Structure 1
Amino acid sequence: MGSHIATITWQRQPTEAFTDSRYSRAHLWQFDGGVEVAASASPHNVPLPYSVEANVDPEEAFVAAISSCHLLTFLWVAAKRGVIIDSYRDEAVGVMTPGPGGHLWVSRVTLNPKVTYGGQAPDRAMEEALHHAAHEQCFIANSVKTEIVTRL
């Protein structure tokens, strides 16, 4: 199916000793299509000013990737079943908890999709079936151990 490439770049500033852990976690994500995203560790994990609150952190990106994959698969499934979608908005929430070894991990992502349908909206059972099919076929959902919950 092909490979997916992201180039991640970080550079220590000359004034940073590094070994004292007082260095910037700001870095850059570059994608093959030319998009660049300013990234950083989360301020939840690394205090300011060593993290950059305005930048995307890996945990946010993980949640966004799960939500985006579900969205794209949902649109595809709906189109195949003749259901017209006008808009889709999700405020996805990822939760980190300690794992068995005490290490934090994103243990749960809750999707909260709000879908606007064109024409006749499906009933609740059909909407649930569309989301279930999207979850089952989402590449990212099939790649992670994180529990993914969809709330309608």
Structure 2
Amino acid sequence: MKRLLLVLVLMAAPVWAVQPDEVLEDPALEERARDLSQGLRCLVCRNESIDESNAELARDLRLLVRERLVAGDSDDEVIEFVVDRYGEYVLLRPTVTGANWLLWLAGPAMLVLAGGVGFAFLRSRSKGVAPQEAALSDEEQARLRRILEE
């Protein structure tokens, strides 16, 4: 029972990242802020959204998002503001435009290339002539017989 309670508490830990003093009074704005925060990467933590992170920088970013929403910015304007300020790395789901195409296509291209190289290697091995074992000379045969007799 204690283990189950511990597991449930640990699973709920990310929910506690947003502090009560950060929550907006308008539920619609708060919902938008939470949605935006879940798509922004914490710059301190690895692959954790600012909505889940307890880092100070994540808190600052959550407050920044809420400030921009209260100021009347649309969701796209808030994201654009944060990306302009911190770079595209801040997006958990990067856009598939411009130079990012190269990054998105690099993985599958390398997989196809590795498969082609492996296929060519295996094909060349199957067609190649196996080296013949050289027969032992008379001197080597005599030496082998002496070793086996010992």
- Considering the TM-score relative to the shorter chain, is it more than 0.5? no
Task: Name the structure with the higher helix share.
Answer: 2
Q: Which has the larger radius of gyration?
A: 2
